[in-house]
Structure formats: structure tokens, C-alpha cells
Chain A
Amino acid sequence: MMPVTVKLDDLLHARRMTLTELSERIDLTLANLSILKTGKARAIRFSTLEAICRELGCQPGDLLGYEAGSD
């Protein structure tokens, strides 16, 4: 498990948005967005982070979390 966690599920649920809708809005493939959602991504570009925060109306800290000692 990566120490950095991605809370995309919760944010999507709160905004009543599907992963597919979000992928279309931020011009990221559904495959890559799924990789992010399932915690398999190794890195995220600032441009992707910016686009997600813009569409979900959140801060990076709302999307990403850190749990020490979970690697």
C-alpha cells in the first residue's frame, strides 16, 4: 500500500459525478483515472491535480492523504 492515499471515490460521491464524467471533463483517459482511484498511480502531474480540483471544487488536501508507515 502506498502511504499517499487518493480519496477520489468520496469526492465523486459527494459531487454526484461518475468516474467517466470526470475523465471526460479533465481530458484524462478512464484507464488512467482508474489507476489513480485504485491507488496504483506512481505519480500525479500538477496539471492533472489542478484539473481534478477545478472540476470537483476541492483542494489537493481533500483529494490526497498521507498515512505514515503503510508502505
Chain B
Amino acid sequence: MNPITVMIAGESRQRAFCRKLLDREAGIAVAGDIRPGLKMLAAAARLRPRVLLLDFTRLRLDALVGLSAIRRHSPRTRVILLTSLRTSDALILEGLKRGALGCLDKAALPGLLPKAIRAVSAGEAWVPRRMARHLRDGLLPLAGGERIGPAPDASAPKGRRWARADGSRRHAS
């Protein structure tokens, strides 16, 4: 059976770390590693990896642009975003909107990187469950007067956000 080909786009320490994690994985072959950006596009087109690991640990315009470009130039390559504690949910959402199918925190790499790669290669998403709420919010924005949460109620859990009839939002305290 053909191994899953993986390309790693990030800074050198991260690339070496991922390579080490994947070198001994049966069924996964690292096709190359590179800095994110222009050369990544050319390399992806030439090597045609099944999965691309893309450094997303800080906001870089070229990472987002590169992601859109990958989708246009190499639509068969599936992207997993490598995030850190500093990566906000909003940035991850922007990555998902531009075609990424997975995201994984770098602290979780040792245990989960091979699993995430296999899942995404098989066409699944690999995304923290908490992102479901942001995806829903992105797809079903609040309309004026639409109620999405519980009515004002002492038993409502703390910190819930819901819309009032006039469309304004407030935190239940």
C-alpha cells in the first residue's frame, strides 16, 4: 500500500521535530520540508503531497495567502494547521475558511500527529470540538430578533451568550 506523503512547511526547528516524529511511522513518508511561502507552492505542485503541515503559530499574512493559493494550485493536498497556545480561535477559523481540514497544537504533536495525518488523509476533519461553535456562528449569523440561546433564566449556565429580541447581545452573569 502506498504510504501517505507529507510535506512540512514551517521554520527549521519545527520541521526537524515533525520529521523525527514521522520517520518511524509505518505508512507515512515525509516527501519534503520547506519554509512557508512561495517556494512551498512550487514544492507542493512538484511533490504532490497528500498532506501538508503548515505552521500557523503566529499571524502571518503569507500563511493565509499561501493557504488560499494552495487550494487553487494543489487542491488535492490536504492541509493541517500547526498551532500554538498563541493561535486564536479566530485565526484557526480563517484557516478553515481557506480550506484547511485539520489543526493540531504543537504540544499535542507527539501523541497525535500520525493520527491526525491518517484521519485527514482519509478525508476526515481533525479539529478541536470547541471549533464547532465558531463554525455554527459563521454559518448561521444572528438575525435581528432571532433567539439562539435560553431565555433570561437564573438557571442558565454562567457566561452564556444569547441574543435579545432587539438583536443586541449580552453575557448572562
Chain B associates with chain A = no
**CB within 8 Å of A: which residues of B?**
none
